[in-house]
Amino acid sequence: MADNLLEIRDLVVEYHTDDAIIHAVNGVNLNVKKGETIGLVGETGAGKTTIARSILRILQTPPAKFCGGNIILNGEDIMNKSEKEMRRIRGNKISMIFQDPMTALNPIEKVGFQIAEAIGLHNKITKSEAERRACDMLEMVGIPMERFGEYPHQFSGGMKQRVVIAMALACNPELLLADEPTTALDVTIQAQVLEMMQSLKENLGTSVILITHDLGVVADICDSVAVIYAGSIVEYGTAEHIFDNPSHPYTVGLFNSLPKLNSTEPRLKPIKGLMPDPTNLPKGCAFCERCPKAADGCAAGAPAVLEIEPGHFVKCLNPGGDD
């Protein structure tokens, strides 16, 4: 497909430790179109961050091991690239916003230099030109360029995250991986950062993979949504599909677990139990044990992916909401 910027096909990633093999990503397929914002939603340990790091190939190997699959950017398989070629892609074509702005910046470098460094590495320009562009980037994310020469500790959490975003966008990447970009921030600052990401996306046409566990954030800025459970995508569709017609019992459970601002229900409806141990995943559906709709066939083998309406895919034998 010509309009797919990124295609992930059957990606399998494991972590090999002395004790066990952790099945972190188990056959993930995902397409990202140009200019699209796609939300990856799931709990801690579902494999969201591993997928993002696989795309940049920044997983530490070992313990991580790619056991299969392809990641295709603009028609070229990233898995076959040399380390040298990868360095030209990272920060240039694909860049990443890390979760914690407090640790993502170098504490002993001025923030302006940290942005200019990325620009200088990927473009044949003079140092002063790189610095001038870094100043532009700071202004774009709403930080006055007079603060170019300040250090990260002089910035607040929200400002630091803007610096990280400025750095990630400095080379006009085609794909931005945002790993929980607002989780460490207060709601009011989160609102500022989301607003900014939204307008940047509109102005620059960047594709974004937004990793989050917050369905509210997804509702805010995502065009499509992939729900991940135990290393595989259990439901995929447009934001309308997922929010209006959540069909995998896990997705339904996630929505029910949220305290709603406008409901008066006396009790929350949590998903019972816990995520399965990723060193010892069940043979059948990984959600089977916690699933209110589990039937006989569920534990026998991995369910196939069904297209329940055009563009809306569910990996479940028995899809549909319970209301």
Binding stretches for other proteins (CB under 8 A)? 43-44, 156-159, 186-192, 194-195, 213-220, 239-240, 243-244, 253-261, 267-272, 274
Three-state DSSP class for residue 15: strand
| Closer to other proteins by Cβ: residue 54 or 190 | 190
Min. distance of Cβ 292 from other proteins in angstroms? 13
Min. distance of Cβ 22 from other proteins in angstroms? 15
| Closer to other proteins by Cβ: residue 158 or 173 | 158
CA distances from 114 to 30, 160, 245, 251 (A): 32, 12, 44, 39
- The DSSP line for 207-238 is EEEEEES-HHHHHHH-SEEEEEETTEEEEEEE
Greatest Cα pair distance in the chain? 67
**DSSP, res 275:** P
| Closer to other proteins by Cβ: residue 169 or 271 | 271
CA-CA distance, 169 to 171, in Å (whole number)? 6
The backbone region for 75, taken as left when phi is positive above 0, alpha when psi lies in -120 to 50, beta otherwise, is left
Min. distance of Cβ 159 from other proteins in angstroms? 7
| Closer to other proteins by Cβ: residue 259 or 310 | 259
Q: Residues, the chain, total?
A: 323
Min. distance of Cβ 261 from other proteins in angstroms? 5
Min. distance of Cβ 111 from other proteins in angstroms? 16
| Closer to other proteins by Cβ: residue 84 or 267 | 267
DSSP H/E element including 302: none
